[in-house]
Structure 1
Amino acid sequence: MAKPKNILFIMFDQLRWDYLGCYGHKHLHTPHIDRLASKGVRFTRAYIQSPICGSSRMSTYTGRYVHSHGASWNFTPLKVGEMTMGDHLRDAGMDAWLVGKTHMEADEEGMARLGLDPDSKIGARVAECGFDIWERDDGMVTKGPDGSFAEGGITNAHNYTNYLKARGYESENPWHDFANSGIDAEGNVLSGWFLKNSTEAANIADEDSETPYMTTRAMEFIEGHDGPWMCHLSYIKPHWPYIVPEPYHDMYGPEHVQGPIRSAAEYDDAHPVLRGMMESPVGKAFSTDKIRNAVIPAYMGLIKQCDDQMGRLFKWLEDTGRMDETMIVLTSDHGDFLGDHWMGEKQFFHDTSTRVPLIVYDPSPKADATRGTVSDALVECIDFAPTFVEVAGGKPASHILEGHSLLPILHGTATEMPRDHVICEYDYAATPLADKLGLNVREAVMFMVADKDWKLIHCEGGFRPILFDLVNDPHELTDLGDRADMAPVIERMYDKLFRWARRTSQRTTRTEEQLIEMRTSTRRRGVIIGVYDENDIPLELSVHYRGRKAKDMKTGRQTEQT
């Protein structure tokens, strides 16, 4: 084929870039994902646009920076009017379907203001981040004293819940009681929320757990659709709760846990914002060997299960002849600190969190020259949307989409992206850290700008910058932001950040071509400004204003005499 007919866009949740075999993990072997890398291009400098699920995904789905789309934290709605990957692809003649998670929060107020019925086709797409829904499941079926974490219905895990109940998993909440908990000899549920239970086997058959279930649903979608389609297969795992069913629960032990990337000096000399994260409950928890030795083997088991499901999926695609007509893009929405840098979770800018795996398999002959290669080009998650539009045969709307197509690298006509830095943003105005630091909601934001040599982090609120030397300190252990001799580097990186901040990201209703055409077309539409004499300009521009006659009305309207 000259080009792929369909696109399978696979995203894992909270999968670290360095926890795959092809990215160099010492103990975790992922042969199926590694094989995909051998058939495509593996990118080593792919960065997300925000180190948290919701805002990262909204950048991926809109092809725009967080600063542009505004959905800057979890449960922050994506405002009505933002075009998404699905909108761009449908304009190019390709459907966009979802199987799994988006973390999308609909702008219900905006939809009501515009009279958009959420049950209509257009309303449903607006509410679902531009996708048509085969199955949406964000996981996280929780219950606390004040209700659910996703009270507004963002979870949408009804199908999976019903599936488990039909399979005999009898519970008000089988997602928790079976898929994400163990069980003791007396039948007591050992909740996966408690990290001590990470060593337990989840009380569910492997084939019924979340990752195999969603793989099956994706295969059912593909089998029933001829295309052209883009299917976003978006897994919930290896995101916490960190618990996995047999046989994956004991494949790895403390002896397979790699030492943490951290230093005593890094903690002792920490920047105030970074120190606040280190001293958070999750930071303190993952700074202990006890918790790391319990959690990381389960995390590795979850990834191993993911890889096995990729093997199942890829074999099925090959057996059914679909591998040769489908572009496959495999990535993650962010990483997981797992105790590195004295932190847990993901909400900061070390590569542990912001750098993600990215493997792209293009079946077209144009990609033959790059199969099995590795690229260190600076890639951002906003690059997926323009890439997919090009694959669909369309022209990316560059006045809206802020990324760049990956096809030149995939086809061997370029080795770098047309950028010299990457950007990541984090808005923590709604978190306890903002309170702890005494910041108002406008101050509780930070920005990362990085190139291949340096990473600068700017924190609003009057804090000094953080600076890492990525060449001599690739693990980002030494903050150079307070060093006077680093002033030239800091200034240079701020120049890149300011250049990014000055971009015209909100100019989305006119294309670049339209703006260029307008530079010369206005005068040809009868607007004449600054011309003293009609003979000073070409006749054709003033022809409609020459040789005209009119009645003298200076004394007012003449009335008819009777």
Structure 2
Amino acid sequence: MDDESIDTVRNVLFIMVDRLRWDYLSCYGHPTLSTPNIDWLARHGVRFENAYVQGPLCGSSRMSYYAGRYAASHGVVRDSVAPSATRKRLGAYLRLHDIRSSVIGKANIVPDGRALHRPEIYPASSEGLLSAQLGFESYERDDDALTWGKRHACLFSEVKDGRWETAWMTDRALDFIDEQGDRPWCLHLSYTALRRLHEAPAACHDTHTADDVVPARRHPDELKNSHPVQRGLQGCAGGKGISKDDVRGQAVSAYMSQIKRLDDHLGRLLDVLADTGRLEDTMVIFCSDHGDYQGDHYPREKELFYDAVTRVPLIVYDPRESADARRGTVETRLVEAIDIVPTVLDAYGLDDDGHVLEGRSLQPLLHGRDTDWRAAVFSEMGYAWHDFARDPSTSVDRP
């Protein structure tokens, strides 16, 4: 625990947006996309300019966020790899101190079924259920790793009570916060709309057009003598489609429209936190699990290690007076997804597992104190499972 941490927060709202690029927010400089509510967080917190994830894929990145460890340590190098059920994640740390830790939305990790059948862990027990949920209590789970059957979002998602999923998840977050009252909580609110663009109602695509889309960052030389994995990603159906300007204009404008809708709903959430006084004792962390190419460099979706994918937005609003000196500033030092767990523990005034956690608390950067800091970040992934890299005729469009 940091020496300063007598002053602590009561709650943490940990917001993650699947596939959100760092440069597709107005506070990060996007020229045509307006995100005033996320910008509010940046003006009242610290915006991290150089935040990187530990893996350019949902599972490996999220496990690093939740465990505070590099992919080489926790072993989840692709989505179908199960993490060890015996490893502690954020929820397990907090539950020891009677802090309710819940998830609304996506977690995207395959449970460690073999470990859960060991004699000391019964799958149907509370310990077994929590291990399967990565230590989070499942308040409203919508994990599209289990329900989203195709790579390019060809199916329609369920609309809960007539509400599209982002509105529904926000409403459920408000329900959770209301239920908790003055009891401490950590809520992981994990939105999925940006990876399911074709599933949202047409009305959700009407705030931006192809005229708002910035040109792709790519060069024809990137198609020459590329690495087999990159060549496979460029040559699959998604890569070929997004390389066409008309397809890209339609896809990216839909992506931007969804970001605008998301910002609107986050505004509702922030308004309620302000009206109820919760912004005075709640830390808000806003981030992404990875970015999205959106036509840059020719590959589809994610993976590989370009900034479009491994660099992510990270904004932290710290309500404490000790953070006042850094409100509205931009931090340029290198930070990583593994820094979130020690940051949250520090904010609650809890001791961390210094010999287990590989990230560093961001509290010195949030409070403007001198500290030695890292000079490098690390992102990694296992590509051995990519059949299309070895055989271009193999389809990549599979879950």
Matched, 1:224 2:170: no
Instruction: Please tell me the root mean square deviation across aligned C-alpha atoms, in Å.
Output: 2.3
Relative distance call for 1:410 and 1:70 in structure 2 (3 A) is same
CA contact (8 A) 1:386 1:401 kept: yes
SS in 2 for 1:25: coil
TM-score w.r.t. the length of structure 2 is 0.91
The verdict on how the C-alpha distance between 1:366 and 1:358 changes in structure 2, with shifts beyond 3 A counting, is: same
Q: Hey, what does 1:22 align to over in structure 2?
A: 27
Gaps of 5+ in 1: 151-174, 180-203, 439-562
- 3-state SS of 1:22 partner: helix
Checking the alignment, whether the CA contact within 8 Å between 2:209 and 2:249 is kept in structure 1 is yes
Question: Is 2:393 the counterpart of 1:388?
Answer: no
Partner of 2:322: 366
Residue 111 of structure 1 deviates from its aligned partner by 1.1
* Aligned counterparts of 1:318 and 1:74: Cα–Cα separation in 2: 37
Q: Distance in 1 between matches of 2:238 and 2:140?
A: 32
Work out which structure has the larger RCO, using CA pairs closer than 8 Å and 6 or more positions apart in sequence. Answer: 2
Confirm or deny: 8 A CA contact 2:232 2:389 kept in the other structure.
Answer: no
Matched, 1:408 2:364: yes
Show CA shifts across 1:212-234 (max 9, x none).
10001011111111332111111
**Counterpart for residue 433 of structure 1:** 388
State the partner residue of 1:234. Answer: 190
Q: Which SS does the other structure have where 2:378 is aligned?
A: strand
1:140-196 superposed Cα distances (whole Å, 9 cap, x missing partner): 6758xxxx579xxxxxxxxxxxxxxxxxxxxxxxx94465xxxxxxxxxxxxxxxxx
Aligned residue pairs: how many?
A: 385
Return the alpha-carbon distance in structure 2 between the equivalents of residues 86 and 334 of structure 1: 21
Deviation at 1:114, TM superposition (A): 3.3
Structure 2: segments with no counterpart, 5+ residues: 1-5, 394-399
Whole-Å separation in 1 of the counterparts to 2:50 and 2:30: 16
CA contact (8 A) 1:243 1:298 kept: no
Contact 2:68-2:359 at 8 Å conserved across structures: yes
Task: State how far apart, in whole Å, the 2-side matches of 1:135 and 1:205 are.
Answer: 12
The partner residue of 1:132 within 121, 137, 150 is 137
Give the CA deviation at 1:118: 2.1
Alignment partner of 1:73 out of 78, 83, 86: 78
Q: What is residue 491 of structure 1 aligned with on the other side? A: none
Deviation at 1:134, TM superposition (A): 1.1
Q: How far apart are the structure 2 equivalents of 1:417 and 1:326?
A: 27
Matched, 1:8 2:13: yes
Larger Rg: 1
Counting only pairs closer than 5 Å after superposition, residues 99-498 of structure 1 correspond to structure 2 as 99-139=104-144, 176-177=155-156, 208-225=163-180, 226-245=182-201, 247-414=203-370, 418-436=373-391
Q: Secondary structure at the match of 2:16?
A: strand
> Which residue number corresponds to residue 3 of structure 2?
none
Cα distance between partner residues in 2 of 1:104 and 1:43: 26
For 1:139 and 1:267, locate their aligned partners in 2 and report how far apart those are by CA, in whole Å: 32
Q: String of CA shifts for 1:497-522, please: whole Å, max 9, x gaps.
A: xxxxxxxxxxxxxxxxxxxxxxxxxx
Q: State the distance in 1 between where 2:129 and 2:232 align.
A: 40
Q: Is the 8 A contact 1:243 1:249 kept in 2?
A: no
CA contact (8 A) 2:156 2:200 kept: no
| Equivalent of residue 50 in structure 2, options 33, 45, 48 | 45
